[in-house]
Amino acid sequence: MLKYPFSVYNFTVNSYHSDKNGKLSLSSLFHFLQECAWDNARLNDFGYEFLKSENAFWVLSRMLVQIDEYPKWKDEIEIKTWPKGSDGFFALRDFEIYKNGNVIGRATSSWLILDMNTHRPQKLDRFNFIHENFLQENAIDIKLGKINTGSELKCLEKRKVYYSDLDVNQHVNNATYVRWVLDSHFSDENGDFISEVEINFISELMLNDQFQVFKSENNQDLMYYLKNLEDKEICKIRLQIKNA
């Protein structure tokens, strides 16, 4: 049985979590969500430390975040997270983001456990993940799938992975991909509001790896596509934009 079917975490939006408009940045939000996921997994005995002892580690594979309101600098928020079972090799986890007791955002995600040596997906039942008391709740009632980026891709820039981009697993943290995409092309000078972010992580980037950022557009969605210099897929990101 899960010891903690859900957990609630409190965060203050500090200056270093904020963008140029004084609101919580997308990359900081992804850091918050990851911290909640990692700690709830730790409390339930399938977290980072346990997996490391089993020569394995968690990676985020897919995520969809929907945002109604961005909290401002100095705001207090709460994030509720819960594991909600599995789908094959994928461990499923949802989130709700609260400000003053109201839901201002929600997310759903799919995670994989990889072998530390081979980086191949592992069966979840080997790692104390399968339980009977998962919460049967959906923050977003959707099954995450593959993102289609479109056929006409425009190359925006070439980048390199630096030391500061790496996390404790020695690869690029998921929040860094969000920051790269916003750095590459997105502009909110016209008051554009990112209401939805969807990500597919396909392969890893390591220290000193070089890659390119591509973009295509589909109605109100901006589609981004990262590939290494050998044309291998790295990541796909979809941003849904609304006029503020």
User: How far is Cα 173 from Cα 179, in angstroms, rounded to an integer?
Assistant: 10
Q: How far is CA 230 from CA 32, 53, 54, 203, 212, in A?
A: 33, 34, 32, 13, 10
User: How far is Cα 242 from Cα 244, in angstroms, rounded to an integer?
Assistant: 6
Q: Residue 229 burial by CB count (10 A; 0-12/13-18/19+): exposed, middle or buried?
A: exposed
Q: How far is CA 68 from CA 86, 109, 198, in A?
A: 27, 18, 15
DSSP states of 10-71: EEE--GGGB-TTSBB-HHHHHHHHHHHHHHHHHHTT-SHHHHHHTTEEEEEEEEEEEES-PP
Query: What is the rounded end-to-end Cα distance, in angstroms, of the chain?
Result: 45
Predicted pLDDT at 23? 96
Predicted pLDDT at 95? 98
Backbone angles phi, psi at 196, to 5 degrees: -150, 135
pLDDT tens for 133-149 read 899 899 999 999 999 86
Predicted pLDDT at 139? 98
Question: Residue 228: helix, strand or coil by DSSP?
Answer: strand
pLDDT tens for 200-222 read 999 989 899 999 999 987 776 88
Predicted pLDDT at 189? 67
Q: Residue 19 burial by CB count (10 A; 0-12/13-18/19+): exposed, middle or buried?
A: middle
Predicted pLDDT at 137? 94
**Residue ranges, the chain, pLDDT below 50:** none
